[in-house]
Amino acid sequence: MAKVCPLFSSSKGNSTYIGAQGGGILVDVGVSAKKLVSALNEKGVDIDSIKGVFITHSHTDHISGLQTLTKHHNIPIFASEKTFAELIRCNRLPAGATINIENCTTAADMEISRFFTSHDSPGSCGYTVTLPNGEKVAVCTDLGYVSDEVRNAITGCKTVVLESNHDISMLNSGPYPIELKMRISSKLGHLSNTACASELSALLKSGTTRFILAHLSEENNRPEIAKTAAVGALISNGFIENEDYLLTVAAPCGNKIISI
């Protein structure tokens, strides 16, 4: 049985585990290597079973533990060519790191494919993971809007980890400087609860049965607000939670492993 777990999910750090019988992978390493290894151990996952680290983009909350983790555990790193260029520029790669820029690859008996996202980081992307049984999981955060490329990539995935970053009203009325508010709400920023919710019904119709809302802002969102937006959009299209689909809101840390 395959498993998925957003180990960490917030503007302070992000990392998602996806595993099957052949081992597992991590999407992003946005916390210290020590915290990440500890979180995996708590869930019964040995760091030596991790067969690859897949980086979505080079912002600190997605790569802060990358150098130490991959240096001490010799885990290959996968990212887009532009993201690797940023990692090299910022000296975020360990000496002798095994790197891979292919758009589609295999790790831990799973096929992983990259799709590009709209975000203010060169080469920003998400990933779809095809499990040994043929079912697919998508990890898609840090995007200003859902482009056709993104929508095509995540359509048909059984499980979708999708950004639900901010409540628009909270962002607009909050303490952030206007420049930061504009960045977050732009097409190179982050997906709002409303934008996330608007995608869910079509995904469900395409075969998605589990949604994991991720990368919630701790300043401009609340789990109950994000969930209300998502469930409300699905109700309006005739779908019932726990009958037609399952929905989880990822906490900043301490999430349970979900069997899929």
Question: Looking at the predicted structure, is the pLDDT value of residue 1 above 90?
Answer: no
Distance in angstroms (rounded) separating the CA atoms of residues 233 and 66: 37
User: Average of pLDDT values for 223-246?
Assistant: 98
Q: Nearest Cα to 197, choosing from 250, 148, 237?
A: 237
- If pLDDT is split at 50, 70 and 90, which confidence band does 22 have? very high
Please report how many Cα atoms fall inside a 13 Å half-sphere around the Cα of residue 142, on the Cβ side. Answer: 28
Percentage of the chain surpassing pLDDT 70?
A: 100
User: Average of pLDDT values for 236-254?
Assistant: 97
Question: Other C-beta atoms within 10 Å of 147: how many?
Answer: 15
Instruction: Give the contacts of 71 (CB within 8 A, at least 6 positions apart).
Output: 94, 95, 97
Provide the phi-psi class of 207: left if phi over 0, else alpha when psi is between -120 and 50, else beta.
left
Check residue 223 and give its pLDDT.
98
3-state secondary structure of 11: coil
Query: Which CATH number does the domain housing residue 91 bear?
Result: 3.60.15.10
Distance in angstroms (rounded) separating the CA atoms of residues 159 and 43: 20
pLDDT digits (tens, 9 = 90+) for 108-164: 999 999 999 999 999 999 999 999 999 999 999 999 999 999 999 999 999 999 999
Question: Looking at the predicted structure, is the pLDDT value of residue 56 above 90?
Answer: yes
| Burial class of residue 141 in the structure, from the number of CB atoms within 10 Å of its CB (0-12 exposed, 13-18 middle, 19+ buried) | buried
Question: Looking at the predicted structure, is the pLDDT value of residue 96 above 90?
Answer: no
Check residue 89 and give its pLDDT.
95
Distance in angstroms (rounded) separating the CA atoms of residues 251 and 260: 19
User: Average of pLDDT values for 10-19?
Assistant: 97
Distance in angstroms (rounded) separating the CA atoms of residues 78 and 247: 29
Check residue 80 and give its pLDDT.
97
Check residue 177 and give its pLDDT.
97
Please spell the DSSP secondary structure of 146-207, one letter per residue.
Answer: --HHHHHHHTT-SEEEEE--B-HHHHHHSSS-HHHHHHHHSTTS--BHHHHHHHHHHHHHHT
Instruction: Using alpha carbons, list the distances in angstroms from residue 239 to 75, 151, 205, 209, 234.
Output: 41, 20, 10, 11, 5
Domain count, the chain: 1
pLDDT digits (tens, 9 = 90+) for 199-223: 999 999 999 999 999 999 999 999 9
Which range of residues forms the domain containing residue 54? Answer: 3-259
Percentage of the chain surpassing pLDDT 90?
A: 97
Check residue 35 and give its pLDDT.
98
Instruction: Give the contacts of 169 (CB within 8 A, at least 6 positions apart).
Output: none
pLDDT digits (tens, 9 = 90+) for 164-197: 999 999 999 999 999 999 999 999 999 999 999 9
